Structure formats: C-alpha cells, structure tokens
C-alpha cells in the first residue's frame, strides 16, 4: 500500500500541476489516478512500459493527458479539494490492496476434502 502512495506522489511530481477538462469529473479523476498509480508501481523500473500503460489507461478512460493535467491544475488552485480527493484515492488504493491480499491468502477455515 505504501508503495502505491509513493508511486502516486511520484506521479504528481513528474506530471506537475495541470487539469480542467470538462469530460473529467472528480470521480473519474479519482479512478483514473488510482489506475495510473497502480501502473506507476508496476512499471517503476521501466519508463517505456510505464508510458505505454499510462497511454492505455488514458485511452480506456477517454481522457487525454492534457485534460488530466488541466483538471489537476484547476484542483491545484483549490488546495482544500485536494485533501478530500487524496482521501478518496488512498481509500480506493487501500480497498484494492485488501482485495488483492484476500485473494492471495488461502481460506484455511474449512478442511480440504480428503481423497477416498
């Protein structure tokens, strides 16, 4: 989880302050940011694959990098909004991390069927 938060912070630092697209809502921004953070963590060591993954994510969301940057610039002008948005991002990343952990942890509450 901490890696995702760090990746998100790195993403913010790399892309600077920019965002005002009309196609981009707050909810869509949060979801987009979460996916970009996951990609940043996954491809941290390979910048070419990271850019390819980001391009795919932007395309899937129907948003350009420019629109993303413009929306972020708009939010940067209202820092009080960042606090709530950041909380939503962290919450979604935490939920995804918990689901991933649950899926990776075998259920030992029931004994396995014995072969006869």
Residue 11's pLDDT is what? Answer: 53
**Would you kindly state where each structural domain of the chain is located, as residue ranges?**
2-98
Q: Are 85 and 32 in contact (CB under 8 A)?
A: no
- Looking at residue 7, its pLDDT comes to 56
pLDDT of residue 50: 96
CA distances 28 to 32, 38, 94, 107, Å, are: 6, 15, 18, 34
Answer with the residue of higher pLDDT: 19 or 27.
27
For position 105, what pLDDT does the model report? 75
Q: pLDDT by residue (tens digit) across 60-95?
A: 999 999 999 999 998 899 888 888 999 999 999 999
Q: With bands split at pLDDT 50, 70 and 90, how would you rate the model's confidence at 103?
A: confident
Bridge partners of 71, per DSSP, are 19
How far is the C-alpha of 72 from the C-alpha of 70, rounded, in Å? 5
Q: How many whole angstroms separate alpha carbon 86 and alpha carbon 9?
A: 10
């Amino acid at each position: 989880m901490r890696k995702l938060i760090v990746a998100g912070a790195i993403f913010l630092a790399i892309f600077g302050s920019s965002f005002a697209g009309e196609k981009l809502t707050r909810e869509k921004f949060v979801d987009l940011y979460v996916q970009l953070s996951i990609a940043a963590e996954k491809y941290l060591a390979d910048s070419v694959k990271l850019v390819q993954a980001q391009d795919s994510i932007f395309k899937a969301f129907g948003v350009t990098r420019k629109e993303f940057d413009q929306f972020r610039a708009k939010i940067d002008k209202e820092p009080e909004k960042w606090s709530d948005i950041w909380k939503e991002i962290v919450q979604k990343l935490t939920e995804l991390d918990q689901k991933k952990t649950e899926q990776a942890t075998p259920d030992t509450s029931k004994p396995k069927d014995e072969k006869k």
